[in-house]
Amino acid sequence: MPANSALPWSQYTELVVGRGHPTFTDVDNRALRQLLASSGFGLDTPFYGFPLGTAMYSTASYPKGTSGNVLNDNAVSVNATVAQCIADGIPVCWVDESRMPYNANNVTFSTAVKMVRASGNPLYWDMLAYGYQLGDQSVGATPSVNAATAGAKTAASVGGGTVFFPAGQYWFMSSPTALTGDLGVTWLGQGRNSTSLVQGAAGVTICSLGGGTGTATNRFVLRDLWIGTFSNFATGGAINWQTTGYPSTPVSEVQIHNVKIENSPNPLYFDNVAQFNLRDLQIVQTRASATIGHLMYLIRSVSGEINNTRILTTAGTLPGDAERIDSDCDTLLHARCEHVLLGNGASTAGFRVTDSVGAGTHPPRIIQFSHCTAENGQNGFVIEFARGCFLIGGEVANHNAAGVYLNGGIGVQVIGVQAFLNQQEGIRVAAGSAFLIAENLCSNNSQASNGGYDGITIGSSDGRVINNRSGDVFFTLTNKQKSGINFQSGTDHLAISGNVLHTNLGLAFEQPIINSSTGQNNQMGGNGFVSTSPAAIAAGLDAKHLGGTVEIETTLTGALLVAALGSPFIGQRFKFTFIQDGTGGRAVTWVGTYKLTWSDTGNTLNKRSSIAVVWDGTNFNQDGAQTPYV
């Protein structure tokens, strides 16, 4: 038969099927004819001869041996069949399924001959055609996967070949050969709930690319599989793609799609990987002490997309981070990733960006997290060193410390994140410069202690804190945030505006940084709403750091004398709202710098009244009529 352009390998010009097989029925005949048609052969293709009279070879042609060992006897048949195919120049060998399984360890495979099954797809290098018996834990799947992958690799120049893992368990008792060079290979299962690649011994790594050598390795796809263990191992792992020679000889153009990794000691390790795509990847630890390090570790890896990944731990203590991005990583774009960690070590983060190597390397740069979620870790996001790191949207909740923790870096932006129910701060900036904290919602944090921590804490200079909402608005809980934003002593060169900061236990702002000797270069304006205590109003709030138009609200628990606001600027406007407590009848009086008319009429329990004033440089002058108690 002439070469068929529909086939992805040009050197295979014939499909050879068994001749004279005693159990080959008309039903089999029709099924195989349809299979050939779906693979690019015409429906009228004869499949007992191409053309009639051509010698046919199948394992049915060779009787079993006499050793009594079925696996080895079948291996004798396969070896003889393959040898005859090579001798006659026939490139495809159909494996009679009555000869399966045979021991792939005892077969001399040749990439000049492709093994196929009548019930399989001739386009694939089928693991069962290459001798693996589903569930076998003696020899295991390694010899078969090595042979099938070597065959599939021969199609690299014409688009690539696929190693197919039909549904079932594939036990790896030793590590397959690390793949290097221009591969063009896909490992394909029948779904991560159907095809399982099982680490069967300590030290076994199921999928290795690059082998740690300086050989550039590219074009590999892993998809529709489950990879994991049923026992805890201290060594080995699921996916290890690495090569030396960064950045000139990377593992590149690689993909992982619809894969689940469960209870692997080292689930995913990338070192010098480029142009990669991870999509619908799930990594889980459901057995205590199954994982010995980080669940995902990326170092010296560039140009990657990580979409819809989910990391989940439900048992034991996780010793490392869910995902760690380390030195020399560049342009890694995440979208809709979810990391939920239960049972965590003291330093565990849902996402961590760091530079652990230090000397001779560069911190990660252009690392983006779009609408990503982290829950139940020590911290949600930890940014220790980065040049341009972006958290856009998403949620951080229920962490033992802060939801987002910035401890270094330049140009880190946290925008539109919801941070709530964290034991300490919603967002904490301890170090770094040129940062932006904007449009975030921090609610019901400080769950470790009532008033112990703030919604947002800023402990570094040179940044912008704008348009955030920080206050206990999600839930009514006993433990409340101390302040909406806490600007720690010594911070400078900050632009702070547009923040709405009511419903905290304490002041809207902790530290009047505008008036401090180290904060003279900060710019404040339009920071909205202040909910505070009557005692703070009686003592005189610092006004200058509150912005141009400020609403001040308090619940009265006794009579109140309103003190003059400290350090106001001309034209600054203040609206006071007083709420009567459950007793009512609490009178309000004013010091002499307030030029206004106030009435306590109607100040019964739970009623409220408002009045506004504007500072003219000497007095606070009434601006509009008092709103009566309602």
The confidence band for 525, taking pLDDT boundaries of 50, 70 and 90, is low
Query: Which pLDDT does position 3 carry in this prediction?
Result: 32
Lowest mean pLDDT, pick from 109-113, 235-239, 327-331, 523-527:
523-527
Query: Which pLDDT does position 93 carry in this prediction?
Result: 75
Lowest mean pLDDT, pick from 341-355, 369-383, 538-552:
538-552
Q: Mean pLDDT score of the chain, rounded to an integer?
A: 84
The confidence band for 481, taking pLDDT boundaries of 50, 70 and 90, is very high
The confidence band for 413, taking pLDDT boundaries of 50, 70 and 90, is very high
Please, how many CA atoms are within 13 Å of residue 136, restricted to the half-sphere of its CB? 21
pTM score of the predicted model = 0.81
594 or 70: whose pLDDT is higher? 594
Query: Which pLDDT does position 604 carry in this prediction?
Result: 96
Query: Which pLDDT does position 509 carry in this prediction?
Result: 67
Beta bridge partners of 67: none
508 or 483: whose pLDDT is higher? 483
* 193 burial level (CB within 10 Å; 0-12, 13-18, 19+): exposed
Lowest mean pLDDT, pick from 77-81, 182-186, 284-288, 508-512:
508-512
Q: Domain locations in the chain?
A: 1-142, 167-392, 398-531, 533-630
Instruction: Tell whether the model's pLDDT for residue 121 goes beyond 70.
Output: yes
* CA end-to-end distance (rounded Å), the chain: 94
Tens-digit pLDDT profile for residues 582-616: 999 999 999 999 999 999 999 999 999 999 999 99
The confidence band for 13, taking pLDDT boundaries of 50, 70 and 90, is very low
Instruction: Tell whether the model's pLDDT for residue 63 goes beyond 80.
Output: no
Contacts 24+ apart (CB under 8 A), 78-83: 78/102, 78/107, 78/131, 79/106, 79/107, 79/108, 81/57, 82/107, 82/108, 82/109, 82/110, 82/113, 82/115, 83/108
Instruction: Tell whether the model's pLDDT for residue 62 goes beyond 80.
Output: no
Instruction: Tell whether the model's pLDDT for residue 8 goes beyond 50.
Output: no
Query: Which pLDDT does position 502 carry in this prediction?
Result: 80
Query: Which pLDDT does position 198 carry in this prediction?
Result: 98
Helix (H) or strand (E) holding 171: strand 168-172
From CA 315, how far away is CA 288, in angstroms rounded? 5
Query: Which pLDDT does position 280 carry in this prediction?
Result: 98
From CA 255, how far away is CA 56, in angstroms rounded? 39
From CA 30, how far away is CA 35, in angstroms rounded? 9
Selection from 117-131, 433-447, 551-565 with the highest mean pLDDT: 433-447
Query: Which pLDDT does position 317 carry in this prediction?
Result: 79
Average pLDDT over residues 52-64: 42
Query: Which pLDDT does position 566 carry in this prediction?
Result: 85
